[in-house]
Amino acid sequence: MFGIQGRLTALFVVIVTVVLGISGTYAQYSLGHELEVANQRLREGVLTRLQTSLPSALWDLDKAKVDNIVAAEMLPPELVAIRVYDTSVGLFSGKRRKEDGSIVPIESETTVAGAPVVADLAYRDAGAAGSALKPVIVGRVVVNFSRAQIDATLAAEVRRKVVEVLTLDLILVVALALSLRIVFDPLKKLRDGLFELATRGSDEVEELPEKRSDELGDVIRGFNAIQRKVKSIIKRTREAEDQARRSAQETAQALDDLQRTQESLLQAERLASLGSLVAGVAHEINTPVGIALTSASVLMDATTAVDESMKAGQVKRSEIQKYIETAGESARLIMNNAYRAAHLIHSFKQIAVDQVSEARRRFELKEYIGEVVSSLQPKLKKTRIVVEINCPADIMLDSYPGALAQVITNLTLNCVEHAFEPDGAGNIDINVIPDGDWIEMQVVDNGKGIAPDMLDKVFDPFVTTRRGQGGTGLGLNIVFNLIVKQFGGTISVTSTQGQGASFVLRIPRETPSDTGPDRHPDAPLHAPTAS
């Protein structure tokens, strides 16, 4: 890339070359025009003289005179050949110019170079006395003219102009190189000083000498002043960088502490959810176990009474019939409540094991969602909220059921706690739509919706509308991290205030091997803004 000096030199050279080129082109055009006019005059003059002098000599058949006239006209170098033809004889006389410039006679018809010009030769006879002169065609003359002289003159002029332009360009380049050094040498020193100031330590750069008293000297003095200012700024910048470095280290340490705290809070939140599940299931199991215990006690009392009657030999048919009825009813109550307790314990055991172990396995989705919702019944039965599951059967997932249970639990309880009033009725629909190798799960409620100013922050950690009322703001953040990091899926939320909210989850049927509980161990737990 040319510098300013090179570009200025090139600009001036181009301008001079263009101007001289235009001038030379015009001069070349003018010279060519003049040569063409002179050549045309020469043609007309030669033809005029030949048409004047040749007819009489040709009339008299005076070959010597014709040869002399032709030889005299052959003197200009533009003439290549002159041939004189008689109307009866044919070629009467002729001269041509050889390549070396010598003139030789033309004895017979031959090819002649140059452009031929043909003119008739008319002899005027006096005729009878008193009659008008009548021209008589006695022959014709063929003159061949050459443009070689014109072309040579024009080529020589072009060469002269090119040499002139190159000479002027060379002189201009030398003159500009010498004159521009006066300006650019000090500028190069300024450039070198600036480069050193930018790449080396400020204490290693010397100030430029301030000997000049012209405009460039003022620039150098200004540069030195700037250099002193830059050194001062660099010193303060280094001090600020040291302080910023110390602050960055402190911030990084604080961030590490915050991330560990967040991880502890998230783990505590998950364990708290499991603890709530344990408490709810224990309370729920208390009723069927109590009924079964009471029924067993009644059956034991009835059995003891019948046994005593049989030992005394006083058993009555009515007592046996009553005992059979009591035993049947007690057995029915014991079986029903034992089955109910066993079902609750099985659901709780599977959900609890999944949440604690985070193991990956294959499971049927609809059945598993039902078990999760069943484990939430101790919480749901205290409300007027109905949870409906709309999921096709036989959808198998190869994934992490414990994480999925955490997601469904958090979304459902989030709807219970935030979407409805404490005593309000409502519906929560869990809809599953298969989509090839993916499934789409929608958790939709018909509650009061999410405020517009909160919609973009619902997945952020520690964001809650129940601050001070037991809300930690981590439930939906846990959901986001599980869906994105553990399942490799996506989650979004839409809501219209007063018309409920809809959480849409997309997860693969088979969780990719590069996701899971151990993926991105250093990834922050802070979720990006929800769309």
Mean of the pLDDT values across residues 275-286? 60
Report the distance separating Cα 144 and Cα 151, nearest Å: 16
For a pLDDT cut of 90, what percent of the chain falls above it?
Answer: 12
Q: What is the mean pLDDT of residues 110-125?
A: 81
CATH assignment of the domain containing 385: 3.30.565.10
Q: Which of 167, 201, 224 is the last residue of a domain?
A: 167
Q: How far apart are CA 172 and CA 495, in angstroms?
A: 78
- Is 509 a residue whose pLDDT tops 90? yes
- Cβ atoms of 265 and 474 within 8 Å: the answer is yes
* 411: in domain: yes
What angle, 0 to 180 degrees and rounded to 10, lies between the N-to-C axes of helices 4-59 and 63-73?
170
CB atoms within 10 A of CB 455: 18
Angle value at C-alpha 374, between 373 and 375, nearest 5 degrees? 90
Asked whether the beta carbons of 65 and 57 are under 8 A apart, the reply is yes
CB-CB contact of 334 with 300 (8 Å): no
Residue 211's alpha-carbon distances to 109, 180, 186, 220, 227, in angstroms, are 89, 19, 11, 9, 17
pLDDT in tens, 371-394: 888 888 878 888 889 999 999 988
Please check the confidence at residue 154 and state whether its pLDDT lies above 70. yes
Q: Please give the pLDDT value at position 521.
A: 40
The answer to whether the beta carbons of residues 471 and 465 sit under 8 Å apart is yes
Considering the domain boundaries, does residue 486 fall inside one?
Answer: yes
Give the type of residue at 4. I
d(CA 70, CA 84): 9
Number of helices followed by number of strands (H, E) in the chain: 10, 12
pLDDT score, position 520: 45
To the nearest whole percent, how much of the chain has pLDDT over 70? 79
Task: For residue 186, tell me if it sits in a domain.
Answer: no
Residue 284: name the closest of 366, 354, 356, 347 by CA: 347
498 belongs to a structural domain? yes
- Average pLDDT in the 107-123 region? 82
Mean pLDDT score across all residues of the chain: 79
Residue 50 resides in a domain? yes
Domain termination site, one of 135, 167, 199: 167
Cα distance between residue 440 and residue 491, in whole Å: 10
Average pLDDT of span 27-33: 86
Confidence (pLDDT) at 531? 34
Tell me the mean pLDDT in the region 47-51.
88
pLDDT at 350 over 70: no
Q: Is 507 exposed, middle or buried (0-12, 13-18, 19+ CB in 10 A)?
A: buried
Q: What does residue 440 show for φ and ψ, rounded to 5 degrees?
A: -115, 125
Find the mean pLDDT for residues 389-413.
90
**Cβ-Cβ contacts under 8 Å for 248 (sequence gap 6 or more):** none
Nearest Cα to Cα of residue 189 among 223, 228, 239, 235 = 223
Average pLDDT (130-159) is 81
CATH number at residue 35: 3.30.450
Q: What mean pLDDT comes out for the span 160-186?
A: 82
Q: Give the total number of structural domains in the chain.
A: 2
Indicate whether 357 pLDDT > 80.
no
Segment holding 145, helix H or strand E = strand 134-145
Residue 207 has pLDDT above 90, yes or no: no
Q: At 428, is the pLDDT very low, low, confident or very high (cuts 50, 70, 90)?
A: very high
Task: Flag whether 472 is in a domain.
Answer: yes
Where a domain ends, among 147, 167, 187?
167
Identify which of 480, 440, 486 has the alpha carbon closest to the alpha carbon of residue 457. 480
In whole angstroms, what is the distance from residue 428 CA to residue 105 CA? 125
pLDDT 10s digits, 438-469: 999 999 999 999 988 888 888 887 667 665 45
Q: E strands of 368-446, at which residues?
A: 384-390, 396-399, 425-435, 438-445
Q: What is the pTM of this model?
A: 0.41
The predicted structure's pLDDT at residue 212: 67
CB atoms within 10 A of CB 85: 20
Mean pLDDT of 17-37: 86
Res 190 pLDDT > 80: no
pLDDT confidence of residue 491: 94
Residues near 305 by beta carbon (within 8 Å), at least 6 away in sequence: 319, 323
The larger pLDDT score, comparing residue 498 to residue 352, is at: 498
d(C-alpha 242, C-alpha 454), whole Å? 40
Which pLDDT does position 432 carry in this prediction? Answer: 95
Range of the domain at 41: 4-167
46: tokens are: 């030669």
- pLDDT tier at 355, thresholds 50, 70, 90: low
Question: Residue 79: inside a domain, yes or no?
Answer: yes
For residue 80, being part of any structural domain is answered with yes
Is the pLDDT score of 501 beyond 60?
yes
